[in-house]
Chains A and B, each alone.
Chain A
Amino acid sequence: MTLTQTHRTIEAIWRMESAKLIGSLTRMLRDVGVAEDLAQDALVIALEKWQEIGIPDNPGAWLMTTVKRRAIDLMRRKKLRDQKHVEIAREMDLNHEEDIDQTLDGEIGDDLLRLVFMTCHPVLSQDAKVALTLRLLCGLTTAEIARSFLVAESTIAQRVVRAKRTLRVEKVPFEVPPKGRQRKERLSAVLEVIYLMFNEGYSATSGDQYIRPLLCQEALRLGRVLSEITPHESEVHGLVALMEIQSSRLKTRVSATGEPVLLMDQNRAKWDRLLIRRGLAALKRSQTLGSTLGPYALQAAISACHAEAPTAADTNWIRIAALYEALSRATPSPIIELNRAVAISMAFGPAYGLQIVDELSAEPSLKGYHLLPSVRGDLLFKLGRCEEARKEFERAASMTRNDREKELLLNRINECEYRGTN
């Protein structure tokens, strides 16, 4: 292996293993900051050592043994050797590398779960939760996080420092919240952070070619881990299903020249079948856990309707419209209503969609929101009311500052003028 290959391999191993190391160390040392430092040290040692001896057969176990050894050294040095720590040390047979690939439902799984509840703790701001989760659970570097959010590296570095400090000052415990309402709320905060990470990679049309898929991939990976350690939570499977299915279309959403491709125009043969299968399986699990579907599972079900249609014309819009209706009740919001209007227009005709959009026009929160006149214009155009459609597209164009959106709308205006005179 060349030097760069080795580095790249180690980088990949690091992303997979670092959270487990930090989780275990946090349990031992009760300080996530120190835990991260020690884990980073182990990475440096691995980079040096593996260059010489090659990458070990079980790199995860190698890293875990290394960090635990250092943690014990540290505890000894700090004379923290109370009874409990002695026990931890005794428990560990350091001459034997633990089988770290053992299932996640053991101790390692518990540590990961505690860690993610910690990085998504309500004392932290949303920005801080995202940065800390990407850093501690996904093993991303500060530079990678900064690139993914288009902010300066120092901003992220300081945000992480501040977040860790807040956790320490507020004495946030390393624990899984007790079952019940509190656990549900905390879990939903975790899911929100994961989905935020995923969306940052998925819905941004500009930005780094390398980092965007990385964010989706890392969010998906964390989601899968979470679904293994919390197998009875419907919404966790729902979110995983949603991310799997959306990911199956990542490569076809953008053309070779970087232009976005509409869902209806995408080459379905190129959708990733494995991801779709995994997504559908996760959705099924989510549906069989007893309760009615939550927002993530509903979004996944909508996404699944597209994934299951062999051609765009086969799309089951009636079902999609019903799912949007359910989603709208689960988390009422005008933007979901707009999506419902589009689905209804596909299922029952544009006149029905327009009816819903017109009701939304009175919604004060949508004042100045360019997607409202955009959708209205599209529906009017489909109804052949080109002059009215043109006015709506013009209104929408005046509301957006995004160049790409403006260009799309100008094309639609031209289309209206052409159709209107012919």
Chain B
Amino acid sequence: MHGTSVIKRKIPLTAVARVAIFPPLLLLIIWTRFCFAEDTFTEQSLHSLVAQLSSASFAKKLTLVDEIEEVAGEASLPILEAFLAGQLYYLKQEQDKVFQAVKIEQDNYQILDIYTTAQVEYIDKQAFRARYKKVRINNRLRKKIKLSLSRISLSSGSEASKMQALNALMDGVDESSASLVESLYVKERSKPVKKLMSVVLAVHQLKQATRGATFNQQTDDQTEKQKITQALDLLDGRLEVSVKVALINFKAHLEDLTADDANYNHDLINPLLSKTNAIIHSIEEEINFFLFVEKLFFGLSLGSVLLLAAIGLAITFGVMGIINMAHGEMIMLGAYTTYVVQLLMPNLINYSLFVAVPAAFLVAALVGIVIQRTVIRYLYGRPLETLLATFGISLILRQAVRTLFSPLNRQVDQPSWMSGALELNPVLSLTYNRLYILAFSLLVFIALVFVIKKTSLGLNVRAVSQNRDMAKAMGVKTEWVDALTFGLGSGVAGVAGVALSQLTNVGPNLGQAYIIDSFMVVVFGGVGNLMGTLVASFSLGAANKFMEPITGTVLANILVLVFIILFIQKRPRGLFPQKGRAAE
């Protein structure tokens, strides 16, 4: 039904004008008309079948479920699902009117039309009890419906839904589902689906062998042995959990057989056992590899967060030598800007981030420039005082956000294109938001390097940071360069806040979580060196994530801090100390 409604909308668009030019389109239209006609027909028969459900016996219901599946195909999915969940109810007065009832709160029910899922009414418990009665269901029926559901999605769903259904099926594969898959295997066209089907069948084969149904000491049948060998071959290199479980169980079964000295059949069991062992080993190796890749990805993801948080600091602290303890609050301001932007455009969440990035940059940069002009510029050459004053500013900003918004965390929505994950295989899936943020952090980094290395502002910044007096003598307006540089660093922190709002809670203390880490990254990488910041953030992120499984999150954090403290002993100027004139 869903399909037709889409096509119905297509008709007026494509109608008349292009029919003559594109004969295939004409065909399409005829076909859709045909579908539409057929659909109305099936709809009627579906309605009559569903109407019978309420009064039928359990035996009759079994056949009714089959018929519903046959008549409506994919369209019967929501009905059967509701039935399985025990949400089908009928009116006491008119038994042939069937609805879906969803319990909303303690005492309220929402009655939905089962075909359109439109709300029919919303009533309380008492009225509900008085007027509706449940379509009863038992365990046999449940099993039947489950099978029907997987059959529907296996035979008529998209490739992705088929794969999903097969994966769901694999764990609890039994006689009936195996025969279902076997029957569909012949008809299936898509290669990956076919492959997965054969894997499901192979798992089934192994399970049966493990149970001893088709395989025991006395089996001399070469064909059975061959079948199992083939099944094992199919399973080689599969990463699904159920495959591994089935293999391990099978191995245990074989080992049990070897323990039975009297009937130990060397020729049969030994080759199978060694083969199973080899396959399990190779699968485990592969799983370990992908787990390593996953860990690396998490490490890089944490590294990208650190990079985003620290890169603005690399400008203000690294290049200008200003200790900005309010840096974390610039990140927080960026995150809150995202929140406000989303409030202003609630219907365009998908595009909100594209507005939020420049907005956050401007907000944070402006606040940064104000701070620089009103406070920091009076404290040049007094780094410890700068530290204290900016810490005071950070307190004020945090409290201001608490007063303006709320002390509680704010909800920042995720655009749909950022949710979900890229599933590479059953072991490894990379979430899109982390992938995008990784890419974004690199983009910001490159942009910043470009600004510093290639623009006139960058030239001035470098000049002032290397020799303030000389730059002044050459006519550089140092005051303005200072303000703009500080604004640039703060703005980048604001942009980082937009990205972080997609990963963590947006609250007044958001920035506090990152300030110490950011300083660590900058100090570790070498002050005044953007490249060092990049390397430091990614290596610290990876180190953290690789230690976590061994030591736990907190201890990993502590160990990284201790490591940096010790590292500073050896190389007080970081990984990449500045050389030459810049070092002075």
Whether A associates with B in a native complex is: no
- Give me the interface of B with A, judged by CB distance under 8 Å: none
